[in-house]
Amino acid sequence: MIKQIPNIITSLNLLCGCVALLFAMSGDLITASFFAFLGIFFDFFDGLAARLLNASSKVGLELDSLADMVTSGVVPGFVMVQLLSYAITGNYIDITALFADNSWNANMSQYTPFIGLMIVIASAYRLAKFNVDTRQTNSFIGLPVPANTLLILSLPLILAFQQTEMVTDIILNQWVLIGLTLLSSILLNAEIPLFALKFKTWDFKSNAIRYVFLIIAIIGLFFFHFLAIPVIILLYIVLSLFWKEK
């Protein structure tokens, strides 16, 4: 039973992703973000539990990817669809009822929000590459899908809790959202080496970049809350450009 604890934690990630998807489809992006963040929390601890309990398995690795595909692949894609819909029409799409009222017509603007589904495709490709890429055992190549999810899901939270006229004008600009969709899809699969928050030892010298990043991230979240998340993701990429594994 102990050997199944990591898989149970991974399953909780998957469950949170499914619940988040249901809320995203109905336009409740705040609740969707909460469950997606909770899923990412479980995603962080399933690997830790596997290492501590010496319970790693091939099934666990596959289950982890499948759970990540939902929580950190499908959910942010649907959230972006909803944000684009709101930016263009002023309303979220009730995706659960979308095909029930025969209201679709030749107006191409109603199809534009589905550009957000590029994130789903890019995330799936990213996870598939990760599963077969032996270079990514201790670091990443391309933006990890959970980091991209944090970036995308920070947007509705900023709009809900830290809204200003300037912030709203930026986030609810359809071209900004389309650009972010394209950029995140590229970053997910770019050949950019990025450090992982995995500590082989706890000494500062060999983990300096990790400690610096975590300290800045915690300070940023404390003072700027959700507004800090896009900056933290950008900082993660910039720091990684100067990082070399010791």
**Gap between the Cα atoms of 143 and 190, Å rounded:** 8
DSSP string, 65-85: HHHHHIIIIIHHHHHHHHHHH
Residue 96 inside a domain? The answer is yes
CATH code assigned at 131: 1.20.120.1760
Residue 140 inside a domain? The answer is yes
**Gap between the Cα atoms of 129 and 189, Å rounded:** 8
Residue 224 inside a domain? The answer is no
Inform me whether the pLDDT recorded for 40 exceeds 90. Answer: yes
Range of the domain at 171: 2-196
**Gap between the Cα atoms of 113 and 78, Å rounded:** 9
- Residue 70: per-residue pLDDT: 96
Domain count, the chain: 1
**Gap between the Cα atoms of 27 and 183, Å rounded:** 24
Q: Residue 195 in 3-state DSSP? A: strand
Q: How many CB atoms lie within 10 A of CB 54?
A: 8
> Which residue's entry shows tokens 């336009």?
27
pLDDT > 90 in the chain, percent: 59
Task: Determine the average pLDDT of the residues in 79-106.
Answer: 75
Residue 239 inside a domain? The answer is no
Residue 237 inside a domain? The answer is no
Inform me whether the pLDDT recorded for 5 exceeds 90. Answer: no
CA 35 to chain centre: 12
- Tokens standing for 128? 């598939």
Residue 137 Cα distances to 53, 124, 131, 132, 233, angstroms: 19, 18, 10, 10, 21
Lowest mean pLDDT among 8-17, 42-51, 69-78, 234-243: 42-51
Residue 232 inside a domain? The answer is no
Residue 13 inside a domain? The answer is yes
Task: Determine the average pLDDT of the residues in 131-142.
Answer: 83
Inform me whether the pLDDT recorded for 4 exceeds 60. Answer: yes
Lowest mean pLDDT among 35-39, 50-54, 194-198: 50-54
Q: What are phi and psi of 149, to 5 degrees?
A: -65, -45
For residue 36, the number of C-alpha atoms closer than 13 Å in the C-beta half-sphere is 35
Task: Determine the average pLDDT of the residues in 217-235.
Answer: 95
Residue 213 inside a domain? The answer is no
- Residue 117: per-residue pLDDT: 96
Task: Determine the average pLDDT of the residues in 95-106.
Answer: 55
Mean pLDDT of the chain: 87
Task: Determine the average pLDDT of the residues in 116-145.
Answer: 90
- Residue 62: per-residue pLDDT: 86
Q: Dihedral of the CA atoms 57, 61, 66, 68 (nearest 10)?
A: 130
